[in-house]
Structure formats: structure tokens, C-alpha cells
Amino acid sequence: MKRSEINTIIKEARDFFTMQKFFLPEWSSWGLSKWKGSYEKCSEIIDNKLGWDITDFGGEDFARRGLILFTIRNGNWEKKDKMYCEKIMIAGENQETPLHFHWNKTEDIINRGGGNLIIELFQATDYAGLSDKPVEVKIDGVKYIVKAGEPLILYAGQSICLTPGIYHRFYGQEGKGNVLIGEVSSVNDDEHDNRFYSEVGRFPTIEEDCPPTHLLVSDYEKYI
């Protein structure tokens, strides 16, 4: 992805958050100069990878396969400081987050507003393949048994609880607009806890065609 594209995506995301009346931490708007020299006072943000996360999953077609994420709070398995995580995300119409599961993380995926969120589920086999068996999940605390791969629609206000070993992919329903997606989970670890069914790049390769207006979590090591 080009840095200029990422800058534009973040600007548009901020506008969408404002339209949905969802407000980010004050440091979400910091530019590069504000971040420099900030590690001592902002180590929790940097070490636990809070902040902006824009990904095309290595496919170089963000509109088709991509996701906007902002990690608001997150803990650290090693430090045992906070054992929970909260994210806010945006998915466009038919913009896919590809099939994956988590080895350790339990998460609630929540439609916070905007369009409808479609999610497809499979139980993982012992060898991380796809089972054709039905999947048991809870939607807003109510138990459901769904067919493997059957599209479920989460409407605004609905949430689904995903436990380790449940493959899931999701995308915004066509014709309904962008979806504001919340996530509340146990500690998030994108470097070790994700298992994608097909090989993808979790973080984008960035072409630096202009300076960053906002740092991504993958930028912290380089710039701070």
C-alpha cells in the first residue's frame, strides 16, 4: 500500500467515526512530531500496539480485501497487566476480512452501527482445516447452531461470541454501507495468535510516497 493511500483511509475513517458518534483517544490524532521521544510516557500504547492498523492482508486491493482497525486498549500476556482488549473497526461493503481463527483469544464481534455485517463460520479440525460440522455460537448470549459456512447477518447492536478454533470471515453487506465493528476480547496478539486458512500478510508492505499523517502500530519500531 502507498502511504498516501493509508493517510486518505485514516482521514475517511475518522470522518466515519465522527458521523457514528464514536470518539477515539486524544492521541489518535497525533502526528509524527508528537510521537517522537514519547516512549517513556506512552510505553503501554507502543508495547501493546494500541492505535491505527490498516491492512490489505497482502493482497494490494484494499477495497476488496482489507480492514480498518483501531486498538483502543490491550494487555500483554507476558506482563499480565491487562487481560483484555477493545478495538473499533470499519468494513466496507463486500470488503472481506479473510478466513482465520485464534489459538487463544475469545472475542465478541459487535455491529456498532452503519450497515449490516455478514459473518461466515467454520469449526477448525485438529489440523487447522475446515470442518463441515455445524458450529455452536452465542449471539447476544443466546445459543445458536449454524451450518458450516452459512452467512449470518449481524444487525446494528447485535454481537457474536467467537471462541478459539472457530474460523471466521466477515464483510459488509452489499448496499447497506460501511459497518462500524466493535471487538471486546481477551488479550490480542496479532503476531502469534492468528491462524489464517490461506496465507496472507497481516501487516501491509508500505511504499513511502509521502510522510505519514498518523503512525500505524507497525510504524512504532521505526519512528519512535
Could you give the percent of the chain with pLDDT greater than 70?
A: 100
- All domains in the chain, ordered by first residue: 3-223 (2.60.120.10)
CA count, 13 A, side-chain hemisphere, 108: 15
Phi-psi region of 128 (alpha: psi -120 to 50; beta: other; left: phi over 0): left
The answer to which of 115-119, 150-154, 220-224 has the lowest mean pLDDT is 220-224
CA count, 13 A, side-chain hemisphere, 19: 13
pLDDT, residue 2, reads 97
Its pTM surpasses 0.75 = yes
* More confident site: 78 or 16: 16
pLDDT, residue 169, reads 98
CA count, 13 A, side-chain hemisphere, 194: 19
Which residue type, as a one-letter code, is found at position 41? K
Q: Residue 81: is its pLDDT beyond 90?
A: no
Per-residue model confidence as pLDDT tens digits over 24-62: 999 999 999 999 999 999 999 999 999 999 999 999 999
The mean of the pLDDT values for the chain is 96
